[in-house]
Structure 1
Amino acid sequence: MATMASTLPYTFPAAIEQDQNTRPPMPLITTIALAATMLLAVYLERLFGWRQALLFIVGTFAGVVLYHASFGFTTSWRVALSDRRSAGLRAQMVMLVLASTAFVILLSLPQPVLGLTLQAYVAPLSLSVVVGAFLFGIGMQLAGGCASGTLYTAGSGNTRMVVTLAAFILGALISTRHALFWATVPSFGPVSLLNSLGPSGAVLATVVVCGGIAWGAARLERARHGSVAPITSGPSGGISLLRGPWPLLWGAVGLVIVNVATLVLAGRPWGITSALALWGAKLAQAVGIDVSSWPYWAEQTRAAALAIPVLADVTSVMDIGIMLGALTAAGIGGKFAPVWRVPFRSLLAAVLGGILLGYGARIAFGCNIGAYFGGVASTSLHGWLWFVSALAGNALGIQLRPWFGLIVERTPCAPTECGGASRNSSSSC
């Protein structure tokens, strides 16, 4: 059986291959991705209006941002927990502060804004959030991605993540069958800092919490490694706006733009997983399963979503946009290279992890984007409950990864940290 920890020097995710900036663009992949994007945008505008087309473009931009900045939540949390590398986590805290500030300003404006009444995403402090986020966290580490990560890596040609996406859809569908049970578990109800503390108080509270997490994570990184990795530069200082990679800070700002644009154009924060549940339900109906009789799908708005075309659903077109945006970025960067042979244990982890991701996200009122990013940006306390619960799930998931032949990044210890062991030793903290 594999050991419970693999010792591996941490590498900036976008810099795993040293020659990435010297690879020529891939004209065929880029042309296909751009053509599909433009044609679908025109189609959406003609059938469903300019908002739907713009939201699709926003999703495409999200895919480019996620890919070029390698802005993943799974790897960031894993290396923070296993190796005290905090750059990704600190970038997320910057993202949350910027987004919550923008959200508070927009939500405090006289409504409607651009013809829509903007709605914050405030969900109950429920046991279902704790359980769902914990399961989602385990799934993150087994699958190797979160909701946004699954979409952008699958879109950029990662064949293993295509399997994860299929399992994600299955897990989300299964969770809708159990929705009535999870609606009855203990709950303290929703808590909005904007309503409780006012605009200034809500922003200040978010700044304090995010600042405290970033400060603590940086201190742990410095204590472990002697320095703190910046979030303002790319790998080895190399940055390319068109081809990538981008600094994590650019990724954080880019995702704030995505969420703010979604709030203004759709009237609510960015989300991902409701569309995956919808796709699963439509596929189930196609093979003769009557999901419309399930309580989850009998609810008025969900029943309406089930009855209309997928492309009429905002979250669906944004998810498709993420995949096309990532494919475009991979083509421009010359990095579209599907690997068709995936080890069985890794494939098994992708399936199990994907099911946990889908099931956990739906019962927790969302994923890392909807519940965590959208919840915290909306000043909802359930976003922070989701974060803590998912982080605990990630900690367990990290321990399970070696069972499936998956690495856990840990830098060899300094002599003073491992009882005099050499930095070249195989021991790890």
Structure 2
Amino acid sequence: MSSSAPVDPRVAAEAQAPAATEPAAQALPRPQWVPLTVGIVAGAALIAGAGAVAGAQAAVLAVLGLALGLTLFHSRFGFTSAWRQLVSVGQTSGIRAHLLMLGAATVLFAPILAGGVTFFGGQPEGYVEPLGLSLVVGAVLFGIGMQLGGACASGTLFAVGGGNTLLVITLFFFICGSVLGALHMPFWSADAITMGSFSLAEDTGLGYAGAAVLQVVVLAVIGFIAVRWARRHDAPRAGRPPSARGVWRIVRGSWPLWVGALLLAALNAVVLLTRGTPWGITSAFVLWGSKALQALGVDVASWPYWQGEKAAALSQPVLADATSVLDFGIIAGALVASAASGAFVLAKKLPLRVVAAAAIGGLLMGYGARLAYGCNIGAYFGGIASFSAHGWAWGLLALVGTWIGLKLRPLFRLSVPKPTDSVC
């Protein structure tokens, strides 16, 4: 599959490759100075604006968002294609990168959650959310939406920063679906269909140290199975985008997946230490959409979703919201990374069927993320790193949604990987 193929221009948003595979010798495009300058200025403005609105903590989060965007783009670290390649052709390189990321985050999160104090005071809290019907429906819908929309939550943001015009459509409908999910949350959060939360650290008697050991062992076993699975299915080899050599690879090149995995785990731990909760993405989408409706005269403040602690967010500036600052930082960071690598490209022609798939996928991801208490970052990454059973359940259910989504892709003439394809 090629990121420039006209049939499915979203491939670039979620390109995956094994960490051990070196990029082929190709000419690296020149830096694109105009978008690079825009990205640098936008990043600096975000840091200054967030600091002015919400203080030093927000400024630090803006820097972390930029670092996350750089890491996501340079390592092409995605979730959508990792699950797509696993289900379709048995390629497990992306999944193995997930396991490394989750294992590293587990080790980093355990002492922080056990008794750490955040940089700005207060006790850090992980994402431990309820199990129930809303999780099941939401995670499956999100898995389907990923395969139709062309990216996950983090992939959508860094692809938008990289100039992927189609993912702007996905993001718009992602926001719409998130708002709709917030409107319906009273039904999906009813006690009759919710079982409550379960922490592997606090509800098992293992404590954080014991839960960390158990979780790392389980991740290692899954990793061993993933290697065997790929060999059994004779999974296709993977390629990498062109890259600079030596030190220039840091700013102009393709990073190995294992580097992206470790950096994302470390950055997530720093986010936890900075704001007291792990990295999240989609709660900001609900806020943006709700503020837009509020500006149009809709009384979203009366919705049950916006009662209690969430109420203040509607009246405050967007830059006062920590998740929004992180999201804006990811977009700006990806813009800088893509322009520095000469990879910033705006699509000029989008087939209607692909636009329709992006819209449907965005709606499903937005709605599913609200029901499932998060996306691939907040629920899957943050949930597992926080030792929550809902994080593990989310990952398994998203695989089910991925399988369904792959069956639906041909309806929109979207490609499905075959064993004879190379993964790119």
Common topology (TM > 0.5):
yes
Structure 2 counterpart SS, 1:125: strand
Q: Does 1:293 align with 2:299?
A: no
Q: Which runs of 5+ in 1 are unaligned?
A: 1-5, 414-422, 424-429
What letter is aligned with 1:67?
F
Aligned residues: 401
Residue 203 of structure 1: how far off its partner (Å)? 1.0
Q: Is the 8 A contact 1:20 1:333 kept in 2?
A: no
What letter is aligned with 2:223?
A
Q: Which of 148, 153, 168 is 1:147 aligned to?
A: 153
Distance 1:128 1:21 in 2: 48
**Same amino acid, percent of matched pairs:** 44
Q: Deviations over 1:235-284 (max 9, x none)?
A: 68976211121100011011112211110000011100000000000011
Residue 47 of structure 1: how far off its partner (Å)? 2.7
Residue 112 of structure 1: how far off its partner (Å)? 5.8
Residue 225 of structure 1: how far off its partner (Å)? 1.7
Change (3 A) 1:382 1:48: same
Distance 1:132 1:159 in 2: 26
- 1:120 counterpart residue number: 126
Q: Deviations over 1:303-358 (max 9, x none)?
A: 11111011100000100001001001011000111112111111100000000000
- 2:184 counterpart residue number: 178
Q: Is the 8 A contact 1:147 1:273 kept in 2?
A: yes
Residue 40 of structure 1: how far off its partner (Å)? 2.1
- 1:72 counterpart residue number: 78
Distance 2:103 2:321 in 1: 29
Q: Is the 8 A contact 2:118 2:274 kept in 1?
A: no
Q: Which of 350, 369, 385 is 1:361 aligned to?
A: 369
Distance 2:390 2:308 in 1: 24
Q: Does 1:28 align with 2:34?
A: yes
Residue 109 of structure 1: how far off its partner (Å)? 2.6
Change (3 A) 1:70 1:21: farther
Change (3 A) 1:294 1:140: same
Matches within 5 A, 1:166-205: 166-184=172-190, 185-195=192-202, 196=204, 197-205=206-214
Matches within 5 A, 1:371-386: 371-386=379-394
What letter is aligned with 2:215?
T
What letter is aligned with 1:247?
P
Q: Which of 95, 98, 110 is 1:92 aligned to?
A: 98
Q: Which runs of 5+ in 2 are unaligned?
A: 1-6, 18-22
Q: Does 1:352 align with 2:354?
A: no
Query: When the two structures are superposed, what TM-score results if normalisation uses the length of structure 1?
Result: 0.89
- 2:277 counterpart residue number: 268
Distance 2:241 2:37 in 1: 27
- 1:247 counterpart residue number: 256
Q: Is the 8 A contact 1:193 1:201 kept in 2?
A: no
Change (3 A) 1:372 1:244: same
Structure 2 counterpart SS, 1:280: helix
Structure 1 counterpart SS, 2:195: strand
Q: Is the 8 A contact 1:136 1:356 kept in 2?
A: yes
- 1:400 counterpart residue number: 408
Matches within 5 A, 1:212-361: 212-225=221-234, 240-297=249-306, 299-361=307-369
Residue 234 of structure 1: how far off its partner (Å)? 5.5
What letter is aligned with 2:342?
G
Q: Deviations over 1:397-428 (max 9, x none)?
A: 01111111111111239xxxxxxxxx9xxxxx
Distance 1:148 1:237 in 2: 22
What letter is aligned with 1:317?
V
Structure 2 counterpart SS, 1:188: strand
Q: Is the 8 A contact 2:143 2:401 kept in 1?
A: yes
Distance 2:359 2:151 in 1: 12
Residue 209 of structure 1: how far off its partner (Å)? 2.1
Distance 1:392 1:132 in 2: 12
What letter is aligned with 2:161?
G
Q: Does 1:159 align with 2:161?
A: no
Structure 2 counterpart SS, 1:225: coil
